[in-house]
Structures are given as C-alpha cells and as structure tokens.
Structure 1
Amino acid sequence: MDLRKLKQSFLQLQAELHPDKFIKKSQKEKDYSAQQSALINEAYETLTHPLSRGIYMLELEGISLEERDVTADVGFLSVILDLNERVLNCEDVKLLDEIEDEVQDNLLAARDAMVKMRYFFNIVESLKEKRLSLPANSS
C-alpha cells in the first residue's frame, strides 16, 4: 500500500467534505458532511495500521476476528500472559530489550501469515473474476 497516495487521497477527501465547508448549507448537507468526514477518518485509520487493515480485509470476505477466537489456542494465550507478566514485573531495561526481541520475532511470524493471507486474497479475487466470466448455468 502506498501510504503517501493514501494520505493525499485522505486530505483531498477531507478538504472536500470537511464540515467547516458546509456551515452555510442546509442541516441535511451539514449532517451528510459530518457523517462522510467521520467515515473518511475511520477508513484512513483502518488502512494506515497493518493490523486493522488485515482485520478489515478478512471482514470483507465474511471472516470475523474476535478475541474469543484465540481462546482455543491455550499455548498462545499462555505465551501472551507470560509476556505481559514479564513486562509488568520487569525492572531492568536489558530484560525489556530481550522481551521486545521475542515479541519482534513473533511479529515477523505474524507478517509471514499476512503475506500468506495476501496470496489467498489474490485467489479469492481470481475466483470472483472467473465466476463472472462463466455462463450463469455452468455448474
């Protein structure tokens, strides 16, 4: 994702729809402007953060991501609880650095999962395109 282009688009849309530009307009137009401006802000925030962007991509395909979904993975929850406890009880910067390195390793693994997700989304898009190219009754 080109974050520079995203920011340019965001600023352009905000300039066009910002509520300050609708002060002398009807209440309906003011409400529309405020609503659209809020949606633009939310979209920008979603797209600029990798985690929220990934969650949004899954939701587009009807896959929701809930915190309770991870509760079945007791090993993962144990690691997270341990990391949180170590951070809370840590009194040494060197130990914090070690914990951070451990977390960074896990983030790299998460990145690999996101890369794999991208490939699956490419296949989903190919499936959609293929369906559109086939006659409606070809099953």
Structure 2
Amino acid sequence: MRKTTNFASCITRRSTYMHCRSCTTSAPLTHQAVDCWNCKKKIMHLQKMICSDCGHLQDVNTSINYFDLLSFPIKFELEPLQLTKRFRQLQTLVHPDKFSNKSDREQSNSSDWSSLINKAYKTLATPVDRGQYLLNLKGEQMPQDNSSLNAEFLMNMMERNEEVEEAADNAVLEQLNNQIIIDLEKNANTLSKHFEAKEFENIKKILVEMKYLLSIQQSIKKKQQSLITTIS
C-alpha cells in the first residue's frame, strides 16, 4: 500500500498549520484569509486553528472537510499509522486541559475542536465510514436499499448468520470472524481502485456489502459475549 506524505517533517509545534509544499501538493487547501477574533490580524486557512501572531485558539471551522483537517489527500487510500499520528498531534494541540486557565471562548473552542477532530478521526479510520464520507464529498449518495446486491451474495450472508447462530464454541466464532476480516480487507483494497477510477456505482455496491459483513461481525461479538455469560 502506498504511504502518504510524512507530515512529521512538515509541521512544528509552534505552527501546525503553516504552509508546506509537500503537504499542499497532495492535499490542496483553500487559502482563505480570516480575521483572528483576538488580535484581528489576517490569518490564512492553513493557520486557522491557532493564530500565529497572538497564539489564541480560533473558532472551530465546521466547513473544513475531515481530510483537510487531518492533512491527508482527499482519496480513499491512506496510511492508518500516519492517520493516528496526525490525530494525536492535533488533539495534543487543542486538548481542553491546555486551555483550562484560558478565556471562556478559548475553552469552548478547545472543546469544539477536540470533538471535531475525534469525529474526523473515527470517520477516516473506518474504511466503510471513510468510503461513505468520500462519496458525499463527491456529491454521491448511498442507495437506500440492497437492490444493487445479487442473490448469491445475500444467500451467503444468510448462511453466515445461521452459522453464527448455530456456533456452540468460541473457536468456531473466531474462524467465522477471521473470514469476515479477510473479506473486509479485500473489499477495502477493491474500493481504493474503484475510487481512483471514479466508478461510483461499484463503490456503493461494495460499501453495502461491507456493511452486511460488519453486521455479521457484530453478531459474532454478541454471540461470543453470550457464550462467556453462559459459562460464567
């Protein structure tokens, strides 16, 4: 899997959102000038989280998309370790504990930014959520039914659900779960190719299939918990 830009070489503690050629080449952002609410100095979009002149935490920018917020190219494929690293960097920057002695506005901004960063990370860290979010950015909507799925796939899902219900021990459930993990990984790899080719109907079909697989995975976890409760 191709890796994204190593942002550790692009940012510093003092200016997390300063202009970086390698970052903006892969994930271009709009350089929209705004006024700092505290010192009124003009700041660029890339510096919008913290003012570089007075150091005050800015109001949350709800219009920024999750990829831009976490400094990733707007595409399906990403490096999970880099995503987690970037998430932790931003959370460290805006953590509410750092602003406990600041003004009410900065405390509120800290909470808002932290919440937005958490939501962005959870969305991009999960392939299905990331895929659906990326579809929305491209003006596409997920289907409201399963008409895109063929009968063979639906039959296979029914059979797997029955296997989960009939499983009498954890070993069988683990085997079923391992197959789900393999199938999800295959679908994620296929999704990346379809996104590159802008094959949106295929993308929607695979995302629906992945949601079925995730549903079965949840059933497996519930059954495992049920077996533990029965034994104890």
TM-score interval w.r.t. the shorter chain? 0.5 to 0.7
In 2: Cα distance, 1:43 partner to 1:23 partner: 24
Q: 1:78 aligns with which of 155, 175, 182?
A: 155
Matched, 1:37 2:114: yes
Deviation at 1:69, TM superposition (A): 2.9
In 1, are the aligned partners of 2:99 and 2:106 still within 8 Å (CA)? yes
Q: 1:59 aligns with which of 124, 127, 136?
A: 136
Deviation at 1:8, TM superposition (A): 2.3
Partner amino acid, structure 1, of 2:159:
D
Change (3 A) 1:70 1:113: farther
Deviation at 1:62, TM superposition (A): 1.8
Structure 1 SS opposite 2:85 = helix
TM-score under structure 1 length normalisation: 0.66
Change (3 A) 1:104 1:48: closer
Change (3 A) 1:108 1:60: same
Partner amino acid, structure 2, of 1:39:
L
In 2, are the aligned partners of 1:46 and 1:56 still within 8 Å (CA)? yes
Residues 111-139 of structure 1 show CA distances to partners (whole Å, capped at 9, x for unaligned) of 35313323224xxxxxxxxxxxxxxxxxx
Deviation at 1:92, TM superposition (A): 5.4
Residue 145 of structure 2 aligns with which residue? 69
In 2: Cα distance, 1:11 partner to 1:104 partner: 26
TM-score under structure 2 length normalisation: 0.43
Residue 18 of structure 1 aligns with which residue? 95
In 2, are the aligned partners of 1:71 and 1:77 still within 8 Å (CA)? no
Q: How does 1:119-134 map to 2 (within 5 A)?
A: 119-121=196-198
In 2: Cα distance, 1:38 partner to 1:110 partner: 30
In 2, are the aligned partners of 1:18 and 1:34 still within 8 Å (CA)? yes
Residue 85 of structure 2 aligns with which residue? 8
Which fold has the larger relative contact order, with Cα–Cα distance below 8 Å and residues 6 or more apart in sequence? 2
Residue 35 of structure 2 aligns with which residue? none
Deviation at 1:46, TM superposition (A): 1.7
- Aligned-CA RMSD value: 2.8
Residue 90 of structure 1 aligns with which residue? 167
In 2: Cα distance, 1:5 partner to 1:111 partner: 18
User: Bigger CA drift: 18-27 or 89-98?
Assistant: 89-98
The structure with more helix, counted as a fraction of residues: 1
Deviation at 1:53, TM superposition (A): 1.7
In 2, are the aligned partners of 1:23 and 1:30 still within 8 Å (CA)? yes
In 2, are the aligned partners of 1:10 and 1:44 still within 8 Å (CA)? yes
* Percentage of matched positions with identical amino acids: 32
